[in-house]
Each structure stands twice: as structure tokens, then as C-alpha cells.
Amino acid sequence: MSNPQPADERWPDLPYPAWRDTCTTLHLYSQVVGKIKLALTPWLNHSWHSALYVTARGLTTSPMYHDGRALEITFDFIDHQLDITMSDGERRRIALQPRAVADFYEIVPAALAELGCEVHIRPQPSEIPDAVPLDQDRTHSSYDAAFAQRFWRVLLQVDRVFKQFRTSFIGKTSPVHFFWGSFDLAVTRFSGRPAPRHPGGIPGLSDEVVREAYSHEVSSAGFWPGGGATDYAAFYSYAYPEPPGFRQAAVRPAAASFSEQLGEFLLPYDEVRRAADPDATLLAFLESTYEAAADAAGWDRAALECSPGRPGVPRPVD
């Protein structure tokens, strides 16, 4: 097990190669929990009903409902437990430890069944090309507690800055939420205009879901810990549909660049954590990439934007 970073380091080191196996396993664990939420909650535009949320201890489903009772499932990265809590006081805790994904897939629904909550989910992972079904996956079983906690500590800081960024937009904006399919924390702004029909084709995700998710023009930003086309943790920002000139735009900071392979701007996480002012560096990336998308697509920025929010101060209205 790796040694954790000092508690006072806000933006800890998160080298993806060092915790790749744990990251992959945790991604698949989150899909089990996410699919349970998907099964228990009514559809909300852009699949927002299925997302997880950052908490002071980890990641949570937020309250879900079954036969009149509320239940919540939380990844607790302090005590390293999966905490299943019912509104009638019943509770189950499952240790987060090295465990095959197939076993996790069996144990979590079984714990819910003991609590009187029968849930059936599809074992095929979402948004992962050529993935082994969850109920058959005995390859992925790593859990490095120190790195899992470090990942959550990064999410805490990203969640905080993303929420600050969210306050300067009065158009439709998503919550800051964690998508278990792509394993990233994201926030999305909308122009208010419909978008052209998305072509679909995302692995492990039906075209119907993709087209509903991208039904309207967006500028979306997020953070992922690494994997796929990037062997490092990074912030990203993209526009759908991508307007002409977007990828050529000058964005901040200088370390940010457009990935032709991914079709979005990337800023390595290390550039933020090593900056003299990480918050300002990340906000510069979020603001400049949004401005690039909004300007290139001709959004009505004057009607959609406002001053950043301040605690206890209502937004002035002319």
C-alpha cells in the first residue's frame, strides 16, 4: 500500500501509472453502484439522474427511493467502506478492499436484498470498449486505499472550483456531478439552443442515450484521473457541436492544448497542482475554454453570464 500524502496538501500527486489497477477496479465498482441508481431513479434530462456526487467522505448516490423508503449508497474513502443506509435506520457496510469486480457485483445487490430492496442491473459495463461483463470480471481486483483516498481528495478540490465556476452562469447549467460510465467529474453549460442529432457510436452506451444527452448545445468541462488516450490525470473542455474555429482558439494557461485525438482541450492535472495559484490556474482554463466555445458558436453571452457568486450575497438584478 502506498503512503498517503500529507493531510495539508490540497492538491495531492496522482500519478495514473502508479494506481492504474486500483483506478480501473474502482471505476468498475462505481458502475455497479451507478447502475443501481440508474435502476431506481426516474430519467432526468442528459442522464443527470444517474450521476454520483462528491461528499466530505467520498462519493454518494444521494437519496434514492424504493417502496416508500429512502436509501443512499456512499463510497467512504476515509474508512474505506461502501456504506448502504436506509431511512428506517437499517444499514450495511461493505469493506473497500482488494476484491474481484465479480464478487463486488454479487455482494452489493445481496446486501440491498437483505434490506428489502431487490434491484436487478445489467452486467455489461458502460462506456468501456470490449469490457468483460461485471459478473464475470475476476481480473480487476486491486484496491490501494491510499491512492483511492488521494483520488477523492483531488475530487474535493475540483468539485469546489467547479462549483465556483458554475456561479457565473445564469443559463441552464448542470450540477457538478460524477459520471460513473466515463469516471469523471463534470460541469456543463448550455446555450439554450437545440443541437444537431448526435451520431452516437459510443461504446457501451446506446445511441438513444447519447442523443438525449447531447440534445442541446453545450460547453462541457471536467476532470478524469487518466486512462484511455491519456496516461495522466487531466482537465478537459469540449463543445458540442464543435463550432468552426473552436480548436484554434487561444486558451489559458499556456500548458493547455487541443487534442486532435480526443477533440477537446486538455490541461494536465500536474500543471494545476504545481501552479503558484492552483484555483486561479484551473479557473482560467474553465473560463477561457468556455469563452472559446461560446464566442465561436455565437452564444448570447450577455444574457447567460453573471458575476461570480459570493457567500451570503444575493446576485444583483437590474
What is the three-class DSSP state of 187? strand
Q: What is the pLDDT of residues 103-160, one digit of tens each?
A: 999 999 999 999 999 999 999 999 999 999 999 999 999 999 999 999 999 999 999 9
Could you state, in order of their start, the residue ranges of all structural domains in the chain?
16-136, 145-304
Q: Tell me the β-bridge partners of 53.
A: 60
Q: What is the pLDDT of residues 243-282, one digit of tens each?
A: 999 999 999 999 999 999 999 999 999 999 999 999 999 9
- How many CB atoms sit inside 10 A of residue 268's CB? 17
Q: Are 235 and 221 in contact (CB under 8 A)?
A: yes
Q: Are 102 and 135 in contact (CB under 8 A)?
A: yes
| 225 closest CA partner among 235, 216, 215, 217 | 235
Q: What is the pLDDT of residues 172-198, one digit of tens each?
A: 999 999 999 999 999 999 999 999 999
Average pLDDT, the chain: 96
Nearest-Å Rg of the Cα atoms of the chain is 20
Dihedral over Cα of 44, 196, 184, 253: its sign = negative
Query: Using 50, 70 and 90 to split pLDDT, how confident is the model at 4?
Result: very low
Q: pTM of the prediction?
A: 0.96
Q: What is the pLDDT of residues 35-47, one digit of tens each?
A: 999 999 999 999 9
pLDDT of residue 1: 42
